[in-house]
Chain A
Amino acid sequence: MAADTPESGAPAATLTLIVRRTIRASAARLFEAWTQPAQLKQWWGPNSVECVDAQVDLRVGGRYRIANRFPDGKILWIAGQFEVIEAPDKLVYTWALEPPSGLPERVTVRFVAQGRATEVIVTHEGIGSAPVRDRHELGWRGCLDGLASYLHDDSQPG
């Protein structure tokens, strides 16, 4: 018999994504752009996504909601709760699609000064937790409805 496969034990592990980007601006400036709704709306989302509404209650335990409009007009809300706020260095918040299904994911954003620029490090944890762990209604469908257009749109060029 072959060695134990991972699936014989716990459910599949969740995934963590780390994305980094150095931007020519101060940490304070970036923190502000990240947490003030009027500014958030200007940059949030890749080109195919338009942020049409953003609500931010910037305090530990406070909630945020961000409306993502996809090219087909569908709006997908992302929402969560702030867990750590250390201006202008660090933010930690939960992240879930609305309506929530399964466990929320978690996003940590760090702003690390590098001379006159700042490295933004986004760590997105717990990806896959909702579909894998929720025993009742695996949250695929709700996510798919909104993201399908994005996937689709994204797979066309190139």
Chain B
Amino acid sequence: MLSSAARKRASAEDRLDAVFHALGDRTRRALLASLASRPARITELARPFDMSLPAVSRHIRVLESAGLIARSVDGRVHQCSLAAAPMKTAEAWLDRYRRFWEGSLDALARLVEAQGEQHDADRRARHGR
């Protein structure tokens, strides 16, 4: 049985997989880039691309399922906007950075504190103690 921490980690990993899968495609990155400036309708989003509306819609569904964009429906008009999820991804990244820096600072402390103790010991030895 999974602990709740393990479950949480697994689902976070799944989300990251979905996000990175979604981002691993040029068209989808371009769609996100155009949404970064403002929300847009699917037809507007599709315009710069040399592909059918259903093809663009499929890309949008991938982005949507990764939580990268949100869709609001007003009658028959579907409007897409960049979702807060990239921030969550960014937070996941932030966590990696945190571990990187904390791990580094631990190692730095081990290095210089050990040297400090050695230095103190040498000094004590020199002073015949």
Interface residues of A (CB under 8 A from B): 5-8, 11-15, 17, 19, 21, 23-25, 29-30, 33-34, 39, 42-49, 120, 122, 124, 127-128, 131-133, 135, 137-138, 140-141, 144, 147, 150-151, 154-155, 158
* 55-107 of chain B: CB within 8 A of chain A: 70, 81-84, 86-87, 90-91, 93-94, 96-107
Give CA–CA (A23, B114) in the complex, Å: 11
Q: Is the CB of A24 within 8 A of B36?
A: no
Interface size in chain B (residues, C-beta < 8 A): 47
A46 cross-chain contacts in B, Cβ below 8 A? 99-100, 102-104, 106-107
B113 in the interface, Cβ–Cβ < 8 Å?
Answer: yes
- Among A5, A23, A44, A138, the residue within 8 A (CB) of B23 is A138
- Among B13, B20, B93, B111, the residue within 8 A (CB) of A43 is B111
B33 cross-chain contacts in A, Cβ below 8 A? 135, 138
Interface residues of B (CB under 8 A from A): 5, 9, 13, 16, 20, 23-24, 29-30, 32-33, 35-39, 70, 81-84, 86-87, 90-91, 93-94, 96-113, 115-116
Interface of B is mostly: helix
Q: Is the CB of A33 within 8 A of B20?
A: no
Distance in Å: Cβ of A105 to nearest Cβ of chain B: 9
Give CA–CA (A49, B9) in the complex, Å: 22
Known A-B contacts A11-B37, A17-B94; A141 and B24 likewise in contact (beta carbons under 8 Å): yes
- Among A7, A13, A23, the residue within 8 A (CB) of B112 is A23
Give CA–CA (A16, B105) in the complex, Å: 18
A11 cross-chain contacts in B, Cβ below 8 A? 36-37, 82
